[in-house]
Structure 1
Amino acid sequence: MSAIWFGEQPPERKPRLSRERITEAAVAVLDADGPEGLSMRRLAARLDAGVMSLYAYVSGKEDVLDLAVDAAVARIATDGLDGLSWREAVRHYLSRSRTVMLRHPWLPALMATRPLLGPHALARSELVYALLHRAGLDGPRLTVAVGALTAYAQGFTAAENMWRGRVGRAGPGGEAELRRAAQEYLAVRHEAYPTLAAHADLGNDDFDTSFGLGLDTILDGIAAQLPGPPSR
């Protein structure tokens, strides 16, 4: 599969147009309307440029999406992790990742479906791989551990974004009512779904705590595979 990262940087042709400006405009369009709202024509209009002039910098929409993803990933801060245990460093990094993916709701799906070969994405992949490798993982277990953490963070945040987008239109009261109705629906069907009725907390709207608990569960599993005494 080809990717924009395999090619050379294009020369600057006009002071007002560059790959960086195209990327910035693409992120803005994606934030406003998602991937379905992004087109070369829409991008050119935002930049006050001709559509064909964009092709001096990118080959099409696919390149633009790759650039936008890498630009958004660059906003995941990596500072302040030195000196932390591998577990705390990973936890901080994935929490920051979730914050950026909440800010850019289109990002989780694109990160899961595009080649993450841009410099910012590769630097962050290197960070997570290095943290887990130094902790004692290697080979397939290292790859699978990174994949599990990545899939959890992206999947959780994608679902959170969808939920927030849907119930946000109804307001806080509407969300509370929907959660209450769902809990009652299970309660009256407790004979068919006894475990769900007793233990599914559908009224819980604390995404921050839920994300942390789920992440700790995965980290516990990773720690159990490390050589030596259990590490936290």
Structure 2
Amino acid sequence: MPEAIWFRDDARPRKPRLSRERIVEASVALLDAEGVSGFSMRALAARLQAGTMSLYEYVKSKEDVLDLALDEVLGEIEPDEGPSWRATVVRRLTQSRHVMRRHPWVPALTATRPLLGPNALARSRLFYSTLADAGLSGPALVAAVGALTSYVNGYVAAENTWWATIRTPAADTEIRERVGRFLEENATELSRQAQVDNGDFDRQFLLGLDIILDGIETRLGADA
């Protein structure tokens, strides 16, 4: 894996026509439009109406641009605190989900690179300190952060893939009805349990999150 930009002292010369800020802004827009698979330095240069080689006056590589774009959108997660540790976690992960819905390429990048940019670090500090102040420490703290992060990333990755494929609420309803009829005819018990007619992604996300938080709260009570 190429060395992440955050490990380098990478103050690069600036020219008046471009800036790292403009490059990052255009990178986010390109990623939103084309995803990671459609991202290239050539496509980015075209969006900026600049030569491809001119970008390297500001960044060392494509990976640098992806790191910077990712940290930029992570800054959309407001690092605010709720009235309790649970409320703070729910706010943080709900906002994270909204950011990853607006920028569907985010889950893939968060899974493949260190999140060490200023925005990522600020939000990680709050997340860890919230759970630490609740009473978690050591491996239990790390495991709780990992479980919650994996939940939101996995949920949104599946949600994004679903809507990229199904595309409309009407199509979502139709496939759920077809699956429901099939299960009623071929797996009656599973049909009752799975409730495939429930297409409320918001409610399901919060319910799943509550179940994980209940487990964490039980752990806190056991360690008291």
TM-score normalized with structure 1 length:
0.91
- CA shift for structure 1 position 156: 0.4
CA distance in 1, matches of 2:170, 2:26: 35
> CA RMSD of the aligned region, Å?
1.6
Is the CA contact (8 Å cut-off) linking 2:25 and 2:69 kept in structure 1?
yes
Q: What CA deviation, in whole Å up to 9, does each residue of 1:176-227 have, x standing for no partner?
A: 111100011111112xxx5412211111110110000000000001111115
Is the CA contact (8 Å cut-off) linking 1:10 and 1:56 kept in structure 2?
no
AA partner of residue 149 (structure 1): L
Give the alignment partner of residue 194 of structure 2, picking from 195, 200, 203. 200
Q: What SS does the corresponding residue of 2:18 show, helix, strand or coil?
A: coil
Between Structure 1 and Structure 2, the one with more helix by share is: 2
The residue number in structure 2 matching 1:113 is 112
CA distance in 1, matches of 2:114, 2:66: 10
- CA shift for structure 1 position 173: 2.4
Is the CA contact (8 Å cut-off) linking 1:86 and 1:132 kept in structure 2?
yes
The residue number in structure 1 matching 2:30 is 29
The residue number in structure 1 matching 2:124 is 125
Is 1:224 matched with 2:218? yes
- CA shift for structure 1 position 11: 3.9
Is the CA contact (8 Å cut-off) linking 1:102 and 1:161 kept in structure 2?
yes
- CA shift for structure 1 position 228: 6.8
AA partner of residue 115 (structure 1): P
The residue number in structure 2 matching 1:6 is 7
- CA shift for structure 1 position 98: 0.5
- CA shift for structure 1 position 16: 2.4
- CA shift for structure 1 position 20: 1.3
Unaligned runs of 5+ in 1: none
Q: Quick check: 112-121 or 132-141, which moved more?
A: 112-121
CA distance in 2, matches of 1:37, 1:184: 38
Is the CA contact (8 Å cut-off) linking 1:136 and 1:227 kept in structure 2?
no
AA partner of residue 193 (structure 2): H
Is 1:87 matched with 2:79? no
CA distance in 1, matches of 2:189, 2:182: 14
The residue number in structure 2 matching 1:99 is 98
Unaligned runs of 5+ in 2: none
Is the CA contact (8 Å cut-off) linking 2:93 and 2:152 kept in structure 1?
yes
Count of matched residue positions in the alignment of Structure 1 and Structure 2? 223
Is the CA contact (8 Å cut-off) linking 2:14 and 2:58 kept in structure 1?
no
CA distance in 1, matches of 2:218, 2:172: 38
AA partner of residue 187 (structure 1): E
Give the alignment partner of residue 186 of structure 2, picking from 181, 185, 189. 189
% identical equivalent positions:
55
Is the CA contact (8 Å cut-off) linking 2:12 and 2:59 kept in structure 1?
no
Is 1:179 matched with 2:180? no
Q: What SS does the corresponding residue of 1:225 show, helix, strand or coil?
A: helix
AA partner of residue 184 (structure 1): R
The residue number in structure 2 matching 1:167 is 166
Q: What SS does the corresponding residue of 1:55 show, helix, strand or coil?
A: helix
CA distance in 1, matches of 2:51, 2:8: 23
